[in-house]
Chains A and B, each alone.
Chain A
Amino acid sequence: MPASTLTRRAQRRGPRVVSAELPVYHGSFGPKQAERLLWRAGFGPQPGQSAELAKRGMRGAVLSLTRPADRSLVGPLPVLENGQPIQPYEVWGNDVLWWLDRMVRARAPLIERMTLSWHDWFATSNDGVGSQRLMINQNQTQRANCLGSFPRMLTAMTTDPAMLIYLSLSGSTKVDPNENYAREMQELFTLGVGDGYTEQDVREQARALTGWTNSWDATTGPTDFHFDPALHDGGIKVIYGHRGNFGWRDGLRLVLHHPDHPKYFVTKLWSYFSAEPLSAKDTHAAASLYVSSGRQIRPVVEAMLMHPLLHAGPRMVKPPIVQIAGMLRGIGRYIDTDAWAWESNLVGQMPFYPPNVSGWDATRWLNTGTWLARFNLTSQMIVANKVLNPASAKGVPSHAKALTDEAIAFWGKPTVSNATRDALRAYAQSAGIDAATAAWQRKQFPVLTLNALRALVAASPDYQTC
């Protein structure tokens, strides 16, 4: 089944920016809207960045993210507590630091954010792979193709060594075809659970995908991943009603041209940007844009980032690793500890270790355990010499409003609702002012209260959502 001539024509024409049929946000676009965009399409603003981005207007702001002129990292290189460089391939947790550093220092945050989405979409865990090198290689492949062609992404992921191990495609042979990859490719990567394919299609896709294998090196582990025609099932298969002597590339082509794929693609992609689903009409328009662009990712992302729901729709809970990176960006801290490796696990999102092949469950980021962990993050964020010492701190305000403002400013002045600001101010008044009766308390309680307020701002519903 060749790609349709319409698709080929669209590919030659190049990607369009926005479909005429998808609505575009026309409301005001100030620092507050830019702040949300930076959290949804990146890892939050650095101090002052929201106001800067807002000057470009909504469309200019989106295009600066989707077509970045500069993909460099700025700021000091990541180190451990002892000042030594991280060892992402060798040392446990340093893989997490390697990526978190990119999130914190990226000039082009959407590239890292899309890479995070693809890591969730093609969720692969080092728990099953056992090689930080292979995981990071996969991550680089996802990054290189993060706004490119989805067929190319699917091809790269199907034949990626970490994936070949994780979903058992390496070693799946004509004698003993393994259905693991074929099933998840359809259920999670391209079509979704539904009536679009049958158990027989799973078995037949598994046959089409046979032939991948690798060798084993006693010191370096799995190596030499390749397709061996001798292991491939060359027989006739019937997939989605098509009959042929299909190989692995045919299997991918068939699933990419399955009528259910475009809708699944845009629905899943949109879910990374908004908690509110697109209407049926907009889903259809986005799917049409995807197909007419030649199954390119960037045009669809651009249209989604300009959609009214993204800018004016309901808020989303920040993914935990996004929150960690954003806190670091907000306070201007770079990677100087391995604490983030286990902290990311405690808050519920340790990169390179998704819970399973369906990725993280974004509807359940917050529970009593992860809320505790998010609160305790602040203690890690504020290095010892930045904790205010009540015996020596100078210039700490002695009234509630100024204490509250100073705590919010500590995180780079995130937008805080009036209700939350009132709650913070009430605490500042009761703890910093009213509770202080003795002279030493009047000196020390405002300082203790400001330390607490910093943690409370970060734990507020406003800061945990965007």
Chain B
Amino acid sequence: MKRDRLAEVLAYANVRAASLLVPYANRGGWRAEWNAEIYHLCHDAGTEFCESPAPGPLEFSRGAFPDAFLLRRDDVRTHGLPGVQPGSAGRCALMLASLAAAAVVLCFILPGARHALLPLHLTSITDLVSIEPAGNAGAESPGISLQEYLEWRTDTEKLFSELAWYHPAVKNVVLARGRSTRLSIGIASANFLRLMRVPIADDAAPLAEPVLVLTRPVWQSLNHSKERMADRFADIDGQSVRIVLLPDDEDQLPNNMQAWLLVDQATLQALPAHARGFAFARIRSSAFPAPRAGVRIMFETHYGVTHVFDCVSVSWLEWQPASNFLFALLLACLALPATTALPLGEYPRYRGRMVFSITARRWAFLVIKLLLLIAVVYLATGSLAWGPAWGGSTSVFLQVIAAFPLLLFGFRWCLQDQRRRCPECLRRLSSPARVGQASCNFLSWNGTELFCVRGHGLLHIPELPTSWFSTQRWLCLDSSWRCLFPDGCAPSPEMV
């Protein structure tokens, strides 16, 4: 007996699962028919005309799937895909998801944006700082001279456990068989990659000759092949250099250089003393007080003149686009109530129809819209600000200036769109009609009325908010009204 009951319950569950395939307009009636058949199969199968043995309820319910599939296929052939029907919630979500996908593609096309918005692959960056002249945090132009670096190597041992420097330059690299190409190269101190915790072959060994470190994509673009790198040499400014490849996942070093030329101290000192570059260091935790907004201040007095430098935490720089965006998001949230009304209207419980699942679906749709919008704006404004390599404060300014209005008007659109949707099927309401007269407003109302094409109800929007009609109101209609509406004529047991 218990087994029969279990089979019946599983059969109902099967039908319920299959009903998800059935177009929404037909779902209620379709499920009612299958449920009624299962009921009769389980409770009075013996009274039926019996030419063949009755199937079990589970076996019977399996037929619901091909039936549901057929209905869905016919519906798709007639009306197109369910997600792209005009005014549907799926179409709206699909549109936003497409925009988000386009923004992701844009972000990947622009290397500057990709490096700024996606986290660096560097490990152990909590004590890693970039040293820059005061006020130039995140600047793209080099600010530390070779002379300063060389002095700091001995003067700042108490502050930094390691210090490295590189000078960006564009060099002609002559490869095998006389092929040459111009690359943007960082001429770096020998310990640069060790400081960055990027392992390469022979990193710890003394430099017998300069090492040119290439990212694998750059090497492949140069050679148009994936041949092995062992014992490869190139020529830069008449000097032979050994080529080493970075590991695949370590191609996101600062400043998006194409290659790094690791040279010993003597070669570095051959550069002009005023050559400017970027300095990075590992700070000693005891040397600096806790960072404030990721920036520590370093003073240097030289012949009575004090110079101020910012030691900017790399982990802080890494999160700068996200923190800028969060700031713009906060501003937009604060400004939103000043630009549009926040309430979504009154949705009264009416004959038990506004059940939990409908309310939850309505809120889920709003949340999905907002999340997709935030993702689109973050990626699009990030690409705009960091993609063309403006650098430094220009990028920060651009990102905030672009993100704030887009978020503000985007949120406004989300709320307005939500108010103009049927709370039950989430389709856009249609056919706005003017109702009432402005001169006859006493205990009455005038405004706009919209309806759901499936006949779920009417939306009343007052022209002038009054004490008895302050916000828009949703009027639920029961299923007996549905035949009056264009898409509401699906038969169901309630309508007989």
Pairing of A with B: no
